[in-house]
Amino acid sequence: MRIKRLAIIGLGLIGGSLARALRQADAVEHIIGCGRSLPNLQCGRDLGVIDSYHQDVGQAVAQADLVFVAAPLSAMRDIFAAMNGQLKTDAIITDGGSAKASVIADFNAVCPQHRHQFVPGHPIAGTENSGVKASFATLYQNRQVILTPTESSSADAIHKVTEMWQLCGAEVKQMTAEHHDQIFAATSHLPHMLAFALVDLLGTAQEKQDIFEYTAGGFLDFTRIASSNPVMWRDICLANKTAISEITQQYAAHLQQLAEWIEQADGEALLEVFQHAKMTRDQLI
């Protein structure tokens, strides 16, 4: 597979790393970047991540054979609307959003005539850093990419998007958007909420200076993801609010039970939970 013209809407860590990976694989001829920040686009061109850029979405996608949208979830609908009427009839559109049902709903609302060309996706990769300078070609090596095709997605579009990610070194899997959102509410979205909540709690404590002076490796490891983009994670919470709300309530109930066992000095109950958690975690790795 070789892409003649690839348009990347949102030239940050995710979009920039896709561009670098495909260029490294010699799988693309021309890459067009698009975004709101002109300095970031100019930086991407100077670094050789992209070949050209537009700040207008319609102009960026007009001649593209494949379009990848790596923008905040709250911006998706406006971006899709700006593509409407500008896309080539055989262009393929995919995205990297962390919630899929909301992205599909946004696309269908403003680009219904392009449904067969759209293959929603989610690369399971990233760091706490952002911007094109943070991108690197090996981000997707040996990582998973989840595709959530709709009933309207064409077989050809699914095949080409799958092959694109495989060229980046990723393992591609498929599932429904609903199943995706439930899984990632538990395994990705909830952990970020916990990290944000803990740092916010301790950051507002009266004795916060003493607390942070004695942080150890466990705290730093657990809270690393609290340095992630706040706007992006606000958008994820709102886009996947039902699944995140449900798993957060379940976690809160479980944590409350642990608090009660600690207060009651119920060592056996605590040990059972900790042993089961350790066994489960050890099996995962």
Say if residue 135 is in the same domain as residue 273: no
Phi/psi of residue 34, nearest 5 degrees:
-145, 135
Say if residue 203 is in the same domain as residue 91: no
Give the pLDDT confidence score for residue 208 in this predicted structure: 65
| 129: Cα separation from own chain's centroid | 13
Give the pLDDT confidence score for residue 163 in this predicted structure: 98
* Structural domain count of the chain: 2
Phi/psi of residue 47, nearest 5 degrees:
-80, -10
Say if residue 199 is in the same domain as residue 259: yes
Strands in 92-95's sheet, in edge-to-edge order, are: 52-54, 28-34, 3-9, 66-69, 92-95, 118-119
Give the pLDDT confidence score for residue 204 in this predicted structure: 85
Say if residue 86 is in the same domain as residue 144: yes
Say if residue 47 is in the same domain as residue 138: yes
Q: Determine contact, residues 149/172, Cβ cutoff 8 Å.
A: no
For the entire predicted model, the pTM comes to 0.88
Please say if the pLDDT value at position 16 is more than 90. yes
Percent share of the chain, pLDDT over 70: 98
* Residue range(s) defining the domain that contains residue 74: 3-175
* Residue closest to 107 by CA, chosen among 62, 150, 160: 150
Give the pLDDT confidence score for residue 126 in this predicted structure: 76
Mean pLDDT along residues 66-86: 95
Domain-ending residue, one of 175, 191, 213: 175
- In which band, very low, low, confident or very high, does the pLDDT at 141 lie, cut at 50, 70 and 90? very high
**CATH number of the domain where residue 205 is located:** 1.10.3660.10
Give the pLDDT confidence score for residue 136 in this predicted structure: 93
Domain-ending residue, one of 106, 141, 175: 175
Say if residue 115 is in the same domain as residue 8: yes
Say if residue 232 is in the same domain as residue 160: no
Please say if the pLDDT value at position 236 is more than 70. yes
- CA torsion angle for 93, 97, 101, 103 (degrees, to 10)? -50
Please say if the pLDDT value at position 207 is more than 80. no
Give the pLDDT confidence score for residue 69 in this predicted structure: 98
Domain-ending residue, one of 141, 175, 209: 175
Phi-psi domain of 84 (left: phi exceeds 0; alpha: psi -120 through 50; beta: other): beta
Mean pLDDT along residues 24-43: 96
Say if residue 193 is in the same domain as residue 275: yes
Mean pLDDT along residues 126-143: 88
- Tell me the per-residue pLDDT of 246-278, one tens digit each, with 9 for 90 and over: 999 999 999 999 999 999 999 999 999 999 999
Please say if the pLDDT value at position 59 is more than 80. yes
Nearest-angstrom CA–CA distance, 160 and 208: 51
Mean pLDDT along residues 44-50: 95
What would you report as the CA-atom Rg of the chain, rounded to the nearest whole angstrom? 21
Please say if the pLDDT value at position 210 is more than 80. no
Mean pLDDT along residues 108-126: 95
Q: Which residue has the tokens 């995962």?
A: 284
- In which band, very low, low, confident or very high, does the pLDDT at 206 lie, cut at 50, 70 and 90? low
Phi/psi of residue 41, nearest 5 degrees:
-65, -45
285/167: higher pLDDT: 167
Mean pLDDT along residues 201-219: 79
Percent share of the chain, pLDDT over 90: 86
Say if residue 83 is in the same domain as residue 210: no
- Tell me the per-residue pLDDT of 148-198, one tens digit each, with 9 for 90 and over: 999 999 999 999 999 999 999 999 999 999 999 999 999 999 999 999 999
Say if residue 158 is in the same domain as residue 202: no
- Within the chain, how many helices (H) and strands (E) appear? 13, 9
Give the pLDDT confidence score for residue 214 in this predicted structure: 78
Say if residue 14 is in the same domain as residue 113: yes
Angle formed at CA 228 by CA 179 and CA 217, multiple of 5 degrees: 105
**CATH number of the domain where residue 130 is located:** 3.40.50.720
Say if residue 115 is in the same domain as residue 168: yes
Mean residue pLDDT across the chain = 94
Helix, coil or strand: residue 86: coil
Q: Which residues on neighbouring strands pair with residue 28, listed in sequence order? A: 3
Mean pLDDT along residues 52-69: 97
